[in-house]
Amino acid sequence: MGTALVIVWVLFMIITLSYRTGFGKASMDMIDKSPLLTFLYDHNYIMNAIIKFH
């Protein structure tokens, strides 16, 4: 389960980096429409650690 969560968080980071593309916008729309995906996106500890480190 932990490995799957890390993979999802990495995919979320890729989506965030590609936000200006059609793929990124469509993916963010899907995340926004899903309560589960929104929760996982908001609690992405990998991305939060990178942002705090930067």
Q: Write the pLDDT tens digit of every residue in 1-43.
A: 789 999 999 999 999 999 999 999 999 999 999 999 999 999 9
SS (HEC) of 8-52: HHHHHHHHHHCCCCHHHHHHHHHHHHCHHHHHHHHCCHHHHHHHH
The model's confidence at residue 54, banded by pLDDT at 50, 70 and 90, is: low
Q: What is the DSSP letter of 21?
A: S
Which structure tokens are listed for 25?
């916008």
